[in-house]
Amino acid sequence: MADEVKLYAAAPSPYVFRAKLALSIKGVKFEYINEDLGNKSAELLKYNPVHKKVPVLVHNGNAISESLVIVEYIDEVWKGVPILPQDPYEKAIARFWAKFIDDKCIPTAFKAFGSNGDEQVVTEAREQLQILENELKVKGTKFFGGDNINLVDIAGSVIAYWVGIFQDATGLELITKEKFPKITVWAEDFVNLEVVNQALPPREDLVAFFKKMFGKA
Amino acid sequence: MSEMGEIKLLGAAASPFVNRVQFVLNLKSIKYEFMEEDFDNKSELLLTSNPVFKRVPVLIHSNKPPVCESLIIIDYLEETHPDVHKLLPSDPADRAVIRFWAYYIDNEFFPLYGRLRKTPDKEGKEALKKQIIERSQVLEKTFVKFSNGKPYFGGDDVGYLDVVLGCFLGWTKFVGNYNNFKILDEVRQWRNLKLF
């Protein structure tokens, strides 16, 4: 009984990357369908009629949307390398930090990069990142998942890779080694993991894309 | 339940996010102590147990650090008390779809109420009202699909989405009356008063 797994995607999206990475971690064979976001396919609109966005995972005809919902689904369906902790309490904590990244870190960072260096906006973004920095310090482990990556690291891939690209694209140095030593090291370790490295989209393509998006091209 | 020890819920009776956790605790017959927070004067306990968001609800249990954020708390209760009043189905695909709608309710629907309140001008308000109606219609369609003719999203009995959306029914009525428009029609039929 062959599984049919399709991922509706777009290379620049860090949310798509979460799903792609989760599938790669589990060694799942899938069809990567590259969407032109300016001209969305009929299938994408059918599978995600509510938001019409990527990523969408279609598994044997079942369509799943929302990147973190997709990652949890992948973890539940395909055994092997675990993405979420087994223990309910540890799971709750992992979900909490993933939510923090989505609710606080990403929106404030995005606003900062789009702000043309507005000090207040940049400070707010750094304050949220500082909370993440402190968490790494307190944990004292290589990754949020310990020796191996987990849901939080996957959710944080936008910080580990995309923030650097946004920095190149806009000239704003949001995360510096001096201000965020733990995050800097974690980001390097994360990006250098083989399973991550192989799945990441090429840097130059992304810098070009985001330069345009932030209006700096 | 003995592994969790004594349970305290830090909350505010007026908060729908706190209410949802209370629904679940009640549905699962979990005893807990409710500690009311004063928003103008947040307690030391709240600030130390949820330093990141500094908000309720917070679940405190005697032998572990606190759990924060209403949906995360509900998932945690569901996983630690699976035998009493199960809220989620066992199929991963069904669960994923339910979680998608929980996201929608929390991120795309409910925040509109706050934005409506904060928008001063008439055009802005009318545009938001339109959006609220559109999205409530999406939810009504979803309800029809999930309930399949039965009274709840969960079918014969209260399920995850009933709890996630149900906590907003009071607000929905208030926002509707205050702003002079009807938000949820068909969905309101299933208002589960026994939870209150």
Mean pLDDT of A45-49: 92
Peptide bond into A55 cis (omega under 30): yes
Q: Is B1 on the interface with A (CB under 8 A)?
A: no
In angstroms, the separation between the Cα of residue A208 and the nearest Cα of chain B is 30
More confident residue, B168 or A73: A73
The whole-model pTM stands at 0.93
The set of residues, in sequence order, having a beta carbon less than 8 Å from that of A102 and lying 6+ positions away, is A68, A155
Position B194 scores a pLDDT of 38
Residue B75 has pLDDT above 80, yes or no: yes
B75/A92 touch (CB, cutoff 8 Å), yes or no: yes
Q: Is the ipTM of this complex over 0.90?
A: yes
User: What SS3 state is found at B8?
Assistant: strand
Position B1 scores a pLDDT of 44
Distance CA B32, CA B93 (A): 32
User: What SS3 state is found at A29?
Assistant: coil
Q: How far is CA A73 from the centre of its chain?
A: 16
Q: How many H helices and E strands in chain A?
A: 12, 4
A95/B103 touch (CB, cutoff 8 Å), yes or no: no
Which domains does chain B show, CATH number per domain?
7-80 (3.40.30.10), 92-195 (1.20.1050.10)
Q: Provide, as residue numbers in chain A, all residues whose Cβ is less than 8 Å from the Cβ of B138.
A: 50
Q: Is A77 on the interface with B (CB under 8 A)?
A: yes
Contact B139, B183 (CB under 8 A): no
Q: Is A99 on the interface with B (CB under 8 A)?
A: yes
**B144 to A140, B153, B184: CA distances (angstroms):** 49, 8, 13
A92/B73 touch (CB, cutoff 8 Å), yes or no: yes
Distance CA A18, CA A56 (A): 11
Q: Which of B68-72, B100-104, B114-118 has the lowest mean pLDDT?
A: B114-118
User: Could you count the other beta carbons within 10 Å of the beta carbon of residue A101?
Assistant: 24
Distance CA A9, CA A20 (A): 9
Helix axes A67-77 and A14-26, enclosed angle (nearest 10): 10
* Residue with the two structure tokens 């606190």: B66
User: What SS3 state is found at B33?
Assistant: strand
Residue range B181-194, pLDDT digits in tens: 766 655 554 444 33
Residue range A139-196, pLDDT digits in tens: 999 999 999 999 999 999 999 999 999 999 999 999 999 999 999 999 999 999 999 9
Distance CA B58, CA A2 (A): 44
Q: Is A139 on the interface with B (CB under 8 A)?
A: no
Q: Provide, as residue numbers in chain A, all residues whose Cβ is less than 8 Å from the Cβ of B68.
A: 96
Q: Is A76 on the interface with B (CB under 8 A)?
A: yes
Q: Which of A83-87, B6-10, B111-115, B173-177 has the lowest mean pLDDT?
A: B173-177
Residue A47 has pLDDT above 80, yes or no: yes
Contact B58, B68 (CB under 8 A): yes
The set of residues, in sequence order, having a beta carbon less than 8 Å from that of A38 and lying 6+ positions away, is none
In angstroms, the separation between the Cα of residue A109 and the nearest Cα of chain B is 17
Residue B62 has pLDDT above 90, yes or no: no
Q: What tokens appear for B131 in the block?
A: 């959006």
Q: How many H helices and E strands in chain B?
A: 8, 4
For residue B157, give the DSSP letter: S
| β-strands B33-36, B7-11 pairing | parallel
Which domains does chain A show, CATH number per domain?
5-77 (3.40.30.10), 88-213 (1.20.1050.10)
Q: What tokens appear for B71 in the block?
A: 């949906």
| β-strands B33-36, A56-59 pairing | unpaired
Window 74-103 of B: residues touching A by CB (8 A cutoff) are: 75-76, 79-80, 92-93, 95-97, 99-100, 103
Window 112-171 of B: residues touching A by CB (8 A cutoff) are: 138
B93/A73 touch (CB, cutoff 8 Å), yes or no: yes
Residue B39 has pLDDT above 90, yes or no: no
Task: Give the best residue of B21, B76, B131, B138 to mutate against chain A (max A CB count within 10 A).
Answer: B76
B76/A92 touch (CB, cutoff 8 Å), yes or no: yes
Residue range A66-121, pLDDT digits in tens: 999 999 999 999 999 999 999 999 999 999 999 999 999 999 999 999 998 899 99
Task: Give the best residue of A3, A28, A66 to mutate against chain B (max B CB count within 10 A).
Answer: A66
In angstroms, the separation between the Cα of residue B117 and the nearest Cα of chain A is 21
Q: What share of chain B is helix, strand, coil (3-state, %, to 5)?
A: 55, 10, 35
Helix axes B169-179 and B122-147, enclosed angle (nearest 10): 140
Q: Is A88 on the interface with B (CB under 8 A)?
A: yes
More confident residue, B178 or A48: A48
Position B185 scores a pLDDT of 58
Query: Where does the pLDDT of residue B4 fall: very low under 50, low under 70, confident under 90, or very high at 90 and above?
Result: low
Query: Where does the pLDDT of residue A209 fall: very low under 50, low under 70, confident under 90, or very high at 90 and above?
Result: very high
Position B187 scores a pLDDT of 54
